[in-house]
Structure 1
């Protein structure tokens, strides 16, 4: 006997879309910390991770745009990085469990090493057990992969299409890097607005978070046309290369750091500066996603990068909260 499929409510969709914002945000400091631990910025691994970081910023914007179209009040708060917990993903539910291949891994901030490289591949892992239709998991902690999560999000969006309103707090600050796309917003309501919202989710998944396997090119329409030498590579493919470099006996030279440098030390001071700068950046992004002017988003983003590098150079593991 078939189990009845629960109906999605607008609250379910909003909760999942806020979770999408949270997950996209979570990846940015995690990837940036590993990236800035690499001493040589011309190293291929640095360059590959950097292109993914730029796209994660885009994905955060896109997730927020879709969330706003469904009436969310988007929240942007500094994530936590503890143990093996990656928000809203439970890899043991995936079949086969990808942790068997990408092990050991860690969800804690650290330098580019085996644990971080495996985590990057797990986060972007493109293969998942398919369900038709996908199951609604209201606690949003039971999706086996990011692909399964976004498949559920897409299904819920279609179920609640009547609640979508275009033109609400839409942000389009990164389109100049994507000349093959006319806009990255949901500016209409009704069927046309739903099509626009689903396309934004497709940008996220086809660039590397859930649909595009590592050996499949990102569609030309969604490729970075400005500053990515491997614009056709999905995130999983890029991180597979990074992992191979780490495991291959010639990993990039990285800085070392301690998590809790003593108060008064240069490392502790660098951590405090980063915590302050990242909190400001989160505030800027939340204000932007709630309809306020662009403000100092660009300068604050650059400052966070410099503060991460400063932590490593002063012997401290970066801290964001």
Structure 2
């Protein structure tokens, strides 16, 4: 069996953590597309499950960013060089074939369908649905599974020859008070032990779940995995497996078993039939394309706000109700609020008929447009009120 990729330099460790922030980000649009496609008032259990996982993906992004800051690198959406491979972007573009994880498969933006839920289970499965690790093709300088990737990150963090004690500094840390909405807590990283604890938290909750965890009770939880409402945040894989099978796990069941508990019904007919269309698709230049561009602009600004929060940059915010300016409010909380606001724009798209595909509606692209020429064009178009020209 091919030996897993090792991270042997501090430069590559920093690049890996930049890509880790992006890896966690890459699942958010996949899950949000399904969540936003659910018709109002329908599929409340499924919506709660997906929403809880999204919030924990935000936690995982924050944990990776805290580790990165603590080892002397500012989180950034700019491409990195890793294992001799240049221009690897942390920011996903959909449909996404990960340049980092070969086993994860293609990540697509789909409404809540059986195929979408199957993909959720594949993402969160320790082997991404493969029977054995050896059955997953390895790519040079990459990893077969998310778990293999995080194991390499943890090993490098634990090696003083790669990451000396003197590297660690508690700078630009997002505090736990800035995170809310899911289980778990933000770990502020000050040293090697807290850095490795942050990586372990990502692994325990979701992506990177060790294969042996499949042989533990599916609903294993700790005190910090329980919300005040009593909702128990067991692993992402187990939660999505319940959606896939339409039943809850019984308390005694193991994660690799088929859930046999109470029914968890998903009504796939109560879902907006959104259909992904890439940029410059069938109706490029039309009013629908303008609406899609406006969403991409809002999403791009949201991603920028998240990275500004991770970089410790304050932002000036104007309250839309009273015009009061607050220059130093925590930007991560603002970004979370912006994510909720993005829902309204996404739902509006999913209610708009797709002019090229009768019976379908528009689907948000979650296409990040970097600052500069193309972003400026989107801004100019938005300020000009749309139109068919570019």
In which range does the TM-score fall when normalised by the shorter chain? Answer: 0.7 to 0.9
Q: What is the DSSP-based 3-state SS (H/G/I as helix, E as strand, rest coil) of the residue aligned with 2:69?
A: helix
Structure 1 residues 82-135: Cα deviation after superposition (integer angstroms, max 9, x where no partner):
26x1352112xxxxxxx8xxxxx752212122332222112111248689xxxx
Which residue number in structure 2 is paired with residue 304 of structure 1? 342
Matches within 5 A, 1:164-243: 164-172=167-175, 173-175=177-179, 181=185, 184-186=187-189, 188=190, 193-211=191-209, 212-213=213-214, 215-226=217-228, 229-231=231-233, 233-243=234-244
Instruction: Give 1 or 2 for the bigger CA radius of gyration.
Output: 2
Summarize the Cα distance change of 1:42–1:185 in structure 2 as closer, same or farther, 3 Å threshold: farther
Higher relative contact order (CA 8 A, sep 6+): 1
* Consecutive unaligned residues in structure 2, runs of 5 or more: 78-89, 248-264, 315-329, 353-360, 368-390
Which residue number in structure 2 is paired with residue 80 of structure 1? 93
Matches within 5 A, 1:281-300: 281-293=302-314, 294-295=330-331, 296-300=334-338
Structure 1 residues 21-77: Cα deviation after superposition (integer angstroms, max 9, x where no partner):
110011111110111111145512221111100100111111111111122221236
Which residue number in structure 1 is paired with residue 102 of structure 2? 90
Match status 1:268 vs 2:289: yes
Separation (CA, whole Å) in 2 of partners of 1:170 and 1:227: 28
Q: TM-score, normalised by structure 2?
A: 0.66
Q: CA deviation at 1:274?
A: 1.4
- The answer to whether the 8 Å contact 1:207/1:218 transfers is no
Matches within 5 A, 1:112-127: 112-127=112-127
Separation (CA, whole Å) in 2 of partners of 1:235 and 1:305: 22
Q: CA deviation at 1:300?
A: 1.7
Summarize the Cα distance change of 1:239–1:54 in structure 2 as closer, same or farther, 3 Å threshold: same
Separation (CA, whole Å) in 2 of partners of 1:74 and 1:215: 36
- The answer to whether the 8 Å contact 2:21/2:61 transfers is yes
* Consecutive unaligned residues in structure 1, runs of 5 or more: 92-98, 100-104, 132-136
Match status 1:317 vs 2:363: yes
Counterpart of 2:271 (choices 247, 254, 277) is 254
- The answer to whether the 8 Å contact 1:177/1:224 transfers is no
- The answer to whether the 8 Å contact 2:17/2:64 transfers is yes
Summarize the Cα distance change of 1:227–1:51 in structure 2 as closer, same or farther, 3 Å threshold: farther
Separation (CA, whole Å) in 2 of partners of 1:151 and 1:15: 15
- The answer to whether the 8 Å contact 1:178/1:222 transfers is no
Give the 4+ runs in structure 1 shifted more than 6 A. Answer: 128-131
Separation (CA, whole Å) in 2 of partners of 1:176 and 1:82: 29
Summarize the Cα distance change of 1:67–1:252 in structure 2 as closer, same or farther, 3 Å threshold: farther
Summarize the Cα distance change of 1:221–1:145 in structure 2 as closer, same or farther, 3 Å threshold: farther
Separation (CA, whole Å) in 2 of partners of 1:291 and 1:307: 28
Q: What is the DSSP-based 3-state SS (H/G/I as helix, E as strand, rest coil) of the residue aligned with 1:256?
A: coil
Q: CA deviation at 1:164?
A: 3.5
Summarize the Cα distance change of 1:110–1:8 in structure 2 as closer, same or farther, 3 Å threshold: same
